[in-house]
Structure 1
Amino acid sequence: MKTFNQASGQPMDRVDGPLKVTGQARYAAEYPEDGLLYGSVVSSTIARGRVINIDSSAALAVPGVRLVLDHRNRPRLASDDENYADADSADGSPFRPLYNDRVLYSGQPLALVVAESLELARYAGSLLRIDYQQEDHQTDLLAVLDPAHPAPAETPKPRGDFNGQLANAAFSIDATYCTVNQHHSPMEPHASTVFYKDDGGLEIHDKNQGPQNCQDYLHKIFAMPKDKIRILTAYVGGAFGSGLRPQYQLPLAVMAALQLKRSVRVTLTRQQMFTFGYRPRTVQRLRLGADAAGRLVAVGHDAIGQTSRFEDFTEHLVEWSGMLYQCDNVALSYKLAPLDVYTPLDMRAPGAASGMIALECAMDELACAAKLDPVQLRRINFAQNNGNEAKPYSSKELLACYDQGAERFGWHKRNAEPRSMRKDHQLIGWGMAGGVWEAMQMKASAKARLDAEGRLTVSSATTDIGTGTYTVMTQIAADAAGIMPRDVTFVLGDSSLPTAPLQGGSFTVSSVGSAVREACLVIRAKVLQAARDHYPELADIPAEEVGFGDGYVHFGDQRLAIADIVANCPGGVLEVQIDTEPNKQREGYATATHSAVFVEVQVDEDLGSIKVSRVVSAVAAGRVINPKTARSQILGGVVWGLGMALQEEAQTDHRLGRVLNHSLAEYHIPVSADIGDIEVIFVEENDDIVNELGSKGVGEIGIVGVASAVANAIYHATGKRVREFPITLDKVL
């Protein structure tokens, strides 16, 4: 069958845009109900110890206060006897709020005050008196590097003779790079509005990246039937990984609602947004060896990351060093250092954003040692296969990324000598780096329903965290069914919908999109069969000569409205639900997105201040469903990468074990004044192996490599190699 209209591949405006810009889109803390109660979380002020006593008498004496929950009076839970993990949990014992008197980290929730207004709840919370038995704590990764233990991660085994080849290399690099804790800091704080129903059921508006994960979590810890718990997540004001796991406001709000048999809302403050998962601090040693021609003969990447004492958080931190470039002698290791902190959490391009800083800065240092152009060094070491898996890539247009990015940037004009390019008092530096992110696909389901008015409704329990899911699923559905995008409605963010994975890892389009496409193709086949049943002139026309598009079935020079065909079906409706999973042909291949990032910096020779004036990001991500929203994803990733390079740092007072700059006033992230010109290039890449859509996803790849490209540009401008991030002006001076 032919397809006439083609929405995919076109820069379509966001279908949810008008609701967001007019304020009609409601977020988790914006759903009203008469009699709604409000909860305020009271957090610990010490990093480790025990709670001796909580005096809540003054708080309970405040008119309008309905409840003070703490570890002594909270309801008994199914999770009291067992550890119940969620879909994104780390190895170990997941944190359980108000579980007992133990204080595991500074900022831990110790009580929930529930009152008739948020102001009352917060005021009453300030009246609580908490006595502690304080214990010695440790929150500094650099103080516990030696006792770090191997991470329970699938780190690739060593291959070849790393030590021998490194010792005999013509050029070698041995450098250590440090990254800091970074917090997600989305615009919308985490919140849960729990509507208590007459039958004891719960309807919950929650900020998360997987409503079914949250439903399953509550089902386990409260021993409630799943059909009594409905999680709704229609709109999410940014998440970047912070909503992959249920955050502690959700079980606290449910505890209060069940105890009071009332509807309750709990919203975290901006300061409390710094009291759960984050990108973990790392110390990474890179050892590279190359022969006289610049070919890598040895790659060693040893990393230590921080974790909590109750869970071993792992991410793909070192694997990239064994797969991005061709090398037969590779040694990778990854260790964890437990601290008195909350467990880290996946954060945009988890592992790759940090690990690629070390690899790509080391590659730049190797290029300088071998007196090779940084792009040329990477070309020499281009890998057709993923060395970790010993598999060829399904597609890899990284060389084209180098070519197109360098040409657009004007890389051929670069003078390789550090401090050789300047404009007045500004030292000009040009740097570049490569990027890689895995192209994954998960099992997913979708339901499609076509009615007699030609309206197609497609649904799946995924979310839209600002990435454009509503829009790209509309485009995919419209193409597959032959319907105009304006006649398609995509429904998401509801735990009662067909199964979908967490939205993360850049796999939503490949996973949910594949299910949407398949469901709509089945609907299209049903439409054709119904047309043959009711219109004799179609009966003998071969399927390949029948076309679908613009809401019509086309054959020869004639067409039939799809709406009219469906109107003749029983009930005037066609409906189907489909389950999909990765195809078998993927198993023989490695799948990944790639990029090349080129950066220009200006460094004031007297002040050391740094300005990124230009960025060109060339990305190969298979078929891009919506270039407009995809470009926005890359732009956002680049901006975040600039923050990683120059600004973002959660500063901890290790004497207190507490984050000091826990606000958007002092936790520095890039603003408009920090951003110069950013150009995004989508390199053509055809891949019929990765999935039926040929799409690899763009949510993560935009940030990977940006920070290292900035660091490399700063070295080129100043001649000073800074290996501790962020690169603030004091380090440059």
Structure 2
Amino acid sequence: MNSFAKPMGQPVDRVDGMLKVTGQARYAGEFPEAGLLHGSVVSSSIARGRIVSIDASAALSLPGVVMVLEHLNRPRLASYDESYADDDAAKGSPFRPLFNERILYSGQPVALVVAESLELARHAGSLLVIEYQAEPHATDLLSAQFEGHPAPAEVPGPRGNFQAELAGAALQLDLHYSTPIEHHNPMEPHASTVLYQADGSLHIHDKTQGPQNCQRYVQKVFGLGREQVRIFAGYVGGAFGSGLRPQYQLPLAVMAALALKRSVRVSLTRQQMFTFGYRPRTLQRLQLGAAANGRLLALGHAAIGQTSRFEDFTEHVVEWSGMLYHCDNVQLDYQLVPLDVFTPLDMRAPGAALGLIGLECAMDELACALAIDPVQLRLINYSERNQNQDKAYSSKELRACYAQGAERFGWARRNPEPRSMREGRELIGWGMAGGVWEALQQKASAKAHLDHEGRLTVSSATTDIGTGTYTVMTQIAAQACGVALEDVVFVLGDSSLPAAPLQGGSFTVSSVGTAVQQACSALREKLLERAAAQAPAFQGATPAQVHFADGQMWYGEHGLALAKLLRDTEEQALEVQVDAEPDKKRDAYATATHSAVFVEVRVDEDLGVVKVSRVVSAIAAGRVVNPKMARSQILGGVVWGIGMALHEETQTDHNLGRHMNHSLAEYHIPVNADIGQIDVLFVEELDEIVNALGSKGVGEIGIVGVAAAVANAIYHATGKRVRDFPITLDKLL
């Protein structure tokens, strides 16, 4: 690609790719320091009760063991006795590691062993003798499902007369689905390296999706000033939501560093990655009433989710059922059941990934009951407005997703009769589902700095969790200032940079990208002021009359190199910072991404083994800044959706209240052999309202609807409807 060609919309390679594949990109647990101490977390073996005693004498007798922190000797923290929260906090009182003797869940950190090496710290941890007084616990949502209370979520109120319309409908369905607990399992486990500075301040490398969120958290908990805490997260090895809240290794590492006045690293083991937030288990009930022609007359969606006893975690599980299809009589309900578990946490497409399983499987069951093609049923009930908000969409190309996805997949050749398509001993099933995710934008800031060599540095305190933020922001800045990609550097992952929201919810490009674009626009205006003062040809030129390309400012036929402009004015650099926020014109509209997913499965008739052989995912997400990065996001989402349908399930021994398959050996996720052909297509969607970039984000939408499409394809192949996810061999046979 020509380095001066318009970079936005181009499949540019990752600008940080070389650093990653050569091992030069350092993650939170990889920063070296002379004299660095290592902390190992000791986890509770009971689900509820209290610690009677901790005998650390054997551990402390080992040469090289420096400290054993527990609730009786931890530093006094005033904020531990106050209410404090983080940006992604749930309602209630957040978990405080080593707060007191109470055990709230199995795997809770009860001690931190600090030693001169990680191996020694872990060995010393195994020597602790801990006496517990156990109490009866409850960890099974199924057993406690009737003990719930209304979730403090913004569930839309009822509309129309649901009960009457349901009772009078030509066809009524009452369906129950369940989804399991899932854990994030990013490739990089959570770690915090606290580098203790000579002046007592802390430089902390943390695995996080928001450096400034962690900075505020540490300040609040430890009573430190902003200048005393700086958080770095230059590279994050996947997070999927697990880094939205500060996890317990961060305050433990800070406790030890402040107590010892030394640098300390605390890394969690793979098993301990199962001892904090997760996607909660849900029980869902879908009630559909429809006319004989397929028109929805009544739609009810009730969900029961689990939460901890100390916080009410809520996500948007049922709202999607009130917006994806047109229905005038809707009743939504969401209940939470407190259990002796840790608080759940947002996980890729939180709420939608779960709620769309129920809705889209139910729509397939309705299509089968009415003998209407599943795509046609969705078109019959197509919604032009978001009825939850009673607003028109800023743009909605879901019809194009259905049409182009179906054509690419070959949906017209589908025989609707279950068990009608086969090759040899393999039953073939074709299923589909729709998807929706809200297109959000948050306040964000960015700084643009142009030096006298023509190099542009743009910065914001966001992160890159593998999504391609470094690259996409580089493209936005390069196009906005008309400079070559190789002359742009985007800096992120540092709490001292201009403010940015947490990276999540598919709003990073729309939020930070808008700030980057506006910072570059402000920089252009300053450059024009300099040019007008220096070059007669530019006097009287307005910003609208000037364009930037090839590293130059152009007014008609007159060009002026940006680097020369600064050198001639004897300025070493020009710098601007802007604060961007959503445009008010968004307020009148609903904004969302949409998708249509088509899936082919092959089921071995004798063994019940399911293979997803083909997927077509059609996405409407506004302007796609980098189709290569965006396609990778959708690929990852589809793979995860296949995992939700067939593999992923955190299994709990409710007698012990403890997760059993807490390792990547036993927690099943899809591998290469499980994945067939995945075809991603982006339908053209112009949106001038959602933000100046016209971009809606793609991180979440890729997973939405996939699990339902797989389940629907399995029904088409076998004639057996499995409503308890994941769909494993035992359920299918």
Normalised by the shorter chain, which TM-score bucket? over 0.9
Secondary structure of the corresponding residue to residue 493 of structure 2: coil
1:108 is matched by which residue type in structure 2? Q
Following superposition, the deviation at residue 545 of structure 1 comes to 4.1
Secondary structure of the corresponding residue to residue 571 of structure 1: coil
2:717 matches 1:717: yes
Following superposition, the deviation at residue 571 of structure 1 comes to 2.7
- C-alpha contact (below 8 Å) 1:78/1:220 kept by paired residues: no
| Offset from partner CA, 1:30-65 (integer Å, 9 cap, x none) | 000110000000000000000000000000001100
- C-alpha contact (below 8 Å) 1:457/1:491 kept by paired residues: yes
Equivalence map 1:196-595=2 (5 Å): 196-541=196-541, 543-569=543-569, 571-595=571-595
Aligned match of 2:154: 154
Which whole-Å CA distance do the structure 2 matches of 1:5 and 1:692 have between them?
Answer: 20
Secondary structure of the corresponding residue to residue 720 of structure 2: coil
Which whole-Å CA distance do the structure 2 matches of 1:43 and 1:544 have between them?
Answer: 62
Secondary structure of the corresponding residue to residue 717 of structure 2: helix
Which whole-Å CA distance do the structure 1 matches of 2:675 and 2:409 have between them?
Answer: 17
Following superposition, the deviation at residue 222 of structure 1 comes to 0.4
Which whole-Å CA distance do the structure 2 matches of 1:352 and 1:537 have between them?
Answer: 56
Following superposition, the deviation at residue 170 of structure 1 comes to 1.3
Aligned match of 1:10: 10
Which whole-Å CA distance do the structure 2 matches of 1:332 and 1:570 have between them?
Answer: 65
Secondary structure of the corresponding residue to residue 114 of structure 2: strand
Following superposition, the deviation at residue 653 of structure 1 comes to 0.3
- C-alpha contact (below 8 Å) 2:532/2:541 kept by paired residues: no
Which whole-Å CA distance do the structure 1 matches of 2:119 and 2:611 have between them?
Answer: 42
1:104 is matched by which residue type in structure 2? L
- C-alpha contact (below 8 Å) 1:357/1:705 kept by paired residues: yes
2:644 matches 1:632: no
Following superposition, the deviation at residue 317 of structure 1 comes to 0.3
Following superposition, the deviation at residue 542 of structure 1 comes to 5.4
Aligned residue pair count: 731
Following superposition, the deviation at residue 238 of structure 1 comes to 0.3
- C-alpha contact (below 8 Å) 2:618/2:680 kept by paired residues: yes
Which whole-Å CA distance do the structure 2 matches of 1:213 and 1:569 have between them?
Answer: 40
- C-alpha contact (below 8 Å) 2:4/2:483 kept by paired residues: no
- C-alpha contact (below 8 Å) 1:241/1:504 kept by paired residues: yes
| Offset from partner CA, 1:293-347 (integer Å, 9 cap, x none) | 1111101000000000000000000000000000100000000001000000000
Which whole-Å CA distance do the structure 2 matches of 1:639 and 1:715 have between them?
Answer: 20
Secondary structure of the corresponding residue to residue 278 of structure 1: coil
Which whole-Å CA distance do the structure 2 matches of 1:383 and 1:357 have between them?
Answer: 19
Which whole-Å CA distance do the structure 1 matches of 2:627 and 2:112 have between them?
Answer: 45
Aligned match of 2:693: 693
Which whole-Å CA distance do the structure 1 matches of 2:210 and 2:65 have between them?
Answer: 32
- C-alpha contact (below 8 Å) 1:4/1:548 kept by paired residues: no
Aligned match of 2:642: 642
Aligned match of 2:682: 682
1:412 is matched by which residue type in structure 2? A
- C-alpha contact (below 8 Å) 1:4/1:547 kept by paired residues: no
- C-alpha contact (below 8 Å) 1:452/1:573 kept by paired residues: yes
Following superposition, the deviation at residue 634 of structure 1 comes to 0.2
RMSD over aligned CA atoms reads 1.0
1:703 is matched by which residue type in structure 2? I
Aligned match of 1:23: 23
- C-alpha contact (below 8 Å) 1:482/1:524 kept by paired residues: no
2:166 matches 1:169: no
Following superposition, the deviation at residue 558 of structure 1 comes to 4.0
Equivalence map 1:654-673=2 (5 Å): 654-673=654-673
Equivalence map 1:36-55=2 (5 Å): 36-55=36-55
Which whole-Å CA distance do the structure 1 matches of 2:140 and 2:543 have between them?
Answer: 66
- C-alpha contact (below 8 Å) 1:145/1:304 kept by paired residues: yes
| Offset from partner CA, 1:341-390 (integer Å, 9 cap, x none) | 00000000000000000000000000011110000000011101001000
1:670 is matched by which residue type in structure 2? P
Which whole-Å CA distance do the structure 2 matches of 1:593 and 1:79 have between them?
Answer: 40
Which whole-Å CA distance do the structure 1 matches of 2:601 and 2:571 have between them?
Answer: 64
Secondary structure of the corresponding residue to residue 307 of structure 1: strand
**Structure-1-length-normalised TM-score:** 0.99
Secondary structure of the corresponding residue to residue 98 of structure 2: coil
**Structure-2-length-normalised TM-score:** 0.99
- C-alpha contact (below 8 Å) 2:219/2:229 kept by paired residues: yes
Following superposition, the deviation at residue 171 of structure 1 comes to 1.7
Aligned match of 1:32: 32
1:372 is matched by which residue type in structure 2? I
Following superposition, the deviation at residue 541 of structure 1 comes to 4.8
- C-alpha contact (below 8 Å) 1:483/1:551 kept by paired residues: yes
Aligned match of 2:65: 65
- C-alpha contact (below 8 Å) 1:349/1:700 kept by paired residues: yes
- C-alpha contact (below 8 Å) 2:194/2:203 kept by paired residues: yes
**What's the % identity of the aligned pairs?**
72
- C-alpha contact (below 8 Å) 2:525/2:543 kept by paired residues: no
Following superposition, the deviation at residue 471 of structure 1 comes to 0.4
Which whole-Å CA distance do the structure 2 matches of 1:226 and 1:78 have between them?
Answer: 17
Which whole-Å CA distance do the structure 2 matches of 1:717 and 1:223 have between them?
Answer: 60
2:119 matches 1:119: yes
2:130 is matched by which residue type in structure 1? I
Following superposition, the deviation at residue 534 of structure 1 comes to 1.0
2:527 is matched by which residue type in structure 1? V
Secondary structure of the corresponding residue to residue 598 of structure 2: strand
Which whole-Å CA distance do the structure 2 matches of 1:227 and 1:10 have between them?
Answer: 40
Q: Which runs of 5+ in 1 are unaligned?
A: none
